[in-house]
Structure 1
């Protein structure tokens, strides 16, 4: 890989980007360098569209001289990790639909005067992630301003004949399940997670009734499934504390905080940016999922969707069979 030109000329930077692009899909008819990108699409195909941003100070703290974080704050992000995370957040949402990613566009707002190395490494992280997950970088935009680093990625995918998994399909009696382990992502997982693309594709083919990626926290994201699935009649969820896959990072974070297992469980229930797949499925389909699951990524049942009666909480936590209301402490975006 060559180095980005040490100049403030936008077009010189674009020319360098074009020379360093990862392999492109043959369906990308016109890529970076024109007013817009052209992608060939077959008729009657469902496209999946997603856009998301990462903001310095909100989704990461940028590694730099003089930046020293407490251990409980997790590691500072390298520019390469920022580029990777920006794409992988979108990929995780495509995974939650059961889709297949095709191409993306990226827009970056650089802090004015940040220097050539920052923009070079951000692109390197984005480019490597595109190559890893088979995504064509079709174009984008670069700006500078008197503010923090911001990177936006817009991603397009397709369903390739499958019906997308949505949040609003859960029904009473469905099994609630999750991939991977939960909690403590601040210790580094939020920068280095693997979007569950192949797992999401498998699950949509096996008829899950609802699915979401855990970006804000298990409790809040499960509540969103229940809310979106309550259009015909109200549904809630019961999950067992003993079934929760508490991650090693959650236990380590609790220890750093001077606390024990109960705090680790809190992290598993409410921490954001796990980027695992939370889904529901009828019992007979869940049995088939378990029987045919081909991945190293663990998958486990957490509980069951129930019909929600008036006055009942949306989410209940079962401890040794006894139900108690689960407060929703996961992340909430404030505008």
Structure 2
């Protein structure tokens, strides 16, 4: 197939016209550029919005490999990571542009599966695919996705808003994606765990869910001062908030939520669940700070919608450091809480180290 036949094969009839209309798409794939009308709020009322733009690139053998993920899962995750960036601002994703560079070892059918995964994610979260670009690649498959979203003017949640005495919260359990990747890379361990446990951990890595609904609830609450998505690990994301806000962030080890599946697999594989939580990444949950007096009320609002909100620490005056406070190194009695800390390196996934 030539380029245009392939594009049609990958993208035709993938999205409902109602979804495109709801996202104000006038002209989608098929012309030199997409045309989108001015966006309005979901209830049709007139409000001022600010646009959000984000772009992510995934490269074969760096971000993914076909030995641990199907092409459909690669496509799904490529878009999910972008949607998580929109969530981290408290926004709503609207439109996406897809650019892929396809090497000779990826067939047209495999590329179609990649697009099927992208469209599955897009349709799940109400995002209109409006265009993109396709090229050949000499070696690796490269997927670049640009997402445009919106947020009510003046209400985007930034990393730089954390305040002294804020509470540090997360919207899910960290570390499960890293554990899932470990399992995928050590298939010999699969025979030692149940199929249910295996499926849970693999799903966490291969099909992560961006926390868009959680982000909107945090924005609407008016008490969330800073927000970040957990793409590179809790330590790295907390560090970005600390640096941007010019404060210190303290993570309380004993308050970190841990799932039964993560705990059991860590024990079986002789790995540290805490390391997976702090440094693993690709969970796409949210980490942020809120006014502490509103925590109980906000947690109830989350629970009423079937979502979770966990307190995991707090904010102090400081210079941009992240500290882990807990019981792992308490070898002496009578220590004050501040001596039960260690500074956490702001490490996580980094392309250039």
Counterpart position of 1:15 = 8
After the TM superposition, which of the residue ranges 270-279 and 40-49 deviates more from structure 2? 40-49
Map of 1:308 onto structure 2: 318
**Cα RMSD between the aligned structures?**
1.9
Counterpart contact for 1:14–1:33, Cα < 8 Å: no
> Equivalences for 1:272-311 in 2 at 5 Å?
272-293=281-302, 294-308=304-318
Show the 5 A alignment for 1:198-213: 198-207=213-222, 208-213=224-229
Cα distance in 2 between the residues matched to 1:14 and 1:324 = 52
Query: Match for residue 265 of structure 1?
Result: 274
- List gaps (5 residues or longer) in structure 2: 40-46, 181-201, 328-336
The Cα shift of 1:56 comes to 1.1
Query: Who is 1:237 aligned against?
Result: 249
Alignment-derived partner of residue 139 in structure 1: 131
1:113 positional shift: 4.6
Report how many residues are paired.
306
Q: CA deviation at 1:144?
A: 1.3
2:85 aligned residue (63, 85, 93): 93
Secondary structure of 1:224's aligned partner:
helix
* 1:251 corresponds to: 263
Cα-to-partner distance string for 1:34-93 (whole Å, 9 max, x where unaligned): 111111125842111111111111221113xxxxxxxxxxxx100000110111001111
Structure 2 CA distance, aligned partners of 1:152 and 1:195? 18
Residues 75 and 117 of structure 2 are in contact (CA less than 8 Å); yes or no, is this contact kept in structure 1? Answer: yes
Please give the TM-score of this superposition, normalised by the length of structure 1.
Answer: 0.86
SS in 1 for 2:299: helix
CA distance in 1, matches of 2:74, 2:276: 23
Structure 1 counterpart of 2:170, from 151, 166, 178: 178
Q: 1:291 to 1:16 in 2, by over 3 A?
A: same
The question of 1:59 aligning with 2:63 is answered yes
CA drift at 1:317: 1.4
Secondary structure (helix, strand or coil) at the match of 2:88 reads helix
> Which secondary structure does the structure 1 equivalent of 2:49 belong to?
coil
Q: CA deviation at 1:323?
A: 2.2
Matches of 1:148 and 1:21, distance apart in 2: 26
User: Take 2:124 and 2:256, find their aligned partners in 1: how far apart are those partners?
Assistant: 30
Identify the residue that residue 71 of structure 2 maps to in structure 1.
79
Q: 1:256-313: CA deviations, max 9, x gaps?
A: 5424xxx11121111111111001011123233123223323211111100017xxx8
Aligned to 1:318: 325
Distance 1:114 1:31 in 2: 26
Deviations 1:113-159 (CA, angstroms, capped at 9, x unpaired): 52221111011111111111111110111111211111111111111
State the alpha-carbon separation in 2 of the partners of residues 264 and 14 from structure 1: 43
Residue of structure 2 in register with 1:166 after alignment? 158
Worse overlay, 291-300 or 177-186: 291-300
Counterpart in 2 of 1:68? none
Distance (Å, rounded) in 1 between the aligned partners of 2:323 and 2:314: 10
Q: What is the rounded CA distance, in whole Å, between the counterparts of 1:301 and 1:106 in structure 2?
A: 37
